[in-house]
Amino acid sequence: METPDRLAPVVERIGVMFPELRDDPVMAASLFENVTSMLEDAHRRYTEGEERSITSDLLLADEHLATGALHAEHMQHPAGAMLAAEVLFDEYLPVFVDEVGASTPAELLRASRALHAGIWSRFPAGAVAYTEALRQRVTTANLDSRAHIARDLHDRVAHGILAGLQRIDLALLTDPPAPERTAQLEAAATQLRRALGDVQNLAVALHARVGDDVLDAALARHVKDLFPDTERVTIESHGTPVPLVNWRAEESLTILLEALTNWWKHARDAAVHVRFDWGADALTMTVRDHGPGFDTDGSADGRLGQSTMRERAALIGARIDVTSAPGTGTTVTLVVPKGTL
């Protein structure tokens, strides 16, 4: 099969439509290599009599993802690849029919399916990989921003609060004020200590990462950092833990820590229980406390917390439910799909 010579006009037309591909040696080489590979696959499919032309279930096969990652690195929009796929099919179908010697209606149909499958298993896979690469960039940028904010909270805000506390303590020790002033300063110091604890916990939560851990292990690790002096947090896991894709795992951890932070603010004297249920298609996480609860319709704090968690859940295609009422505690249920998309 002399595909490279007969393919040259098609590659040239694609290059005219997308000069950024043609003029970049790396992208041009990748284009030619991928198109050649597609046509070889189409010939194999026709020769073996393969009738199947649906390839969407293979879009995340490892061998098809490198092109999308390369396009993302060079900031090449996936719409170009999709159009190039259409151009390739439209231009090369007559050539391909001639190459395989198809003449009967059944052979022509098989040739069309073989070429379609050979092309479609590559270009859309690249578009999917491009999207995943950009999504990973957004996740990384988000985590970097959170780490920067966490450092500022720890190094600047927390230190400023601590310095104010030290001045109050020094004033109480070295220059005792009138009794009524003493009570006021002690009350201010108590508020500052609580604020300091909240800021330190917020810094830890913002800096939280799943990393190489499975989600339940990552949560247990951060709970020890956030709430070292309490034994009221329990975590249990049912089923077989498996890693989630990075961007889902990180957002899930943030949602769980937000739920636990709300427990710490409003119900720290009550026990809180976190349960992981690892199903075949989804991971269900439940955070249930036995605190005072709140009116989900009337509490400003409750509405704000729910809104933040719901926004994060929507980003990862998850479902979240928050149920609470005065005197009944609060339950947060997060259901995250385990798929790769």
Going by their DSSP bridges, the two strands 233-238 and 330-337 should be labelled as unpaired
Task: Give the span between the Cα atoms of 96 and 126, in whole angstroms.
Answer: 23
* Higher per-residue confidence, 269 vs 34: 269
Relative orientation angle of helices 123-152 and 105-120, to the nearest 10 degrees: 20
Task: Give the span between the Cα atoms of 338 and 239, in whole angstroms.
Answer: 13
Over residues 207-211, the mean pLDDT reads 71
Which CATH architecture describes the domain 210-341?
2-Layer Sandwich (3.30)
The structure's pTM equals 0.55
Over residues 296-303, the mean pLDDT reads 58
Q: How far is residue 210 CA from its own chain's centroid?
A: 11
Poorest-pLDDT segment among 158-162, 223-227, 293-297, 301-305: 301-305
Q: What pLDDT does residue 285 have?
A: 96
**What pLDDT, in 10s, does the model give residues 77-110?**
666 667 777 888 888 888 889 989 999 999 999 8
Task: Give the span between the Cα atoms of 130 and 124, in whole angstroms.
Answer: 10
Q: What pLDDT does residue 236 have?
A: 96
* Higher per-residue confidence, 41 vs 21: 41
Q: Across all residues in the chain, what is the average pLDDT? A: 78
Poorest-pLDDT segment among 150-159, 249-258, 297-306: 297-306
Taking a C-beta distance cutoff of 8 angstroms, is the pair 325, 295 a contact?
yes
Half-sphere exposure of 301 (CA within 13 A, CB side): 11
Task: Give the span between the Cα atoms of 173 and 160, in whole angstroms.
Answer: 20
Sign of the C-alpha dihedral computed for residues 45, 48, 50 and 56 taken in this order: negative
Domain extents in the chain: 3-135, 210-341
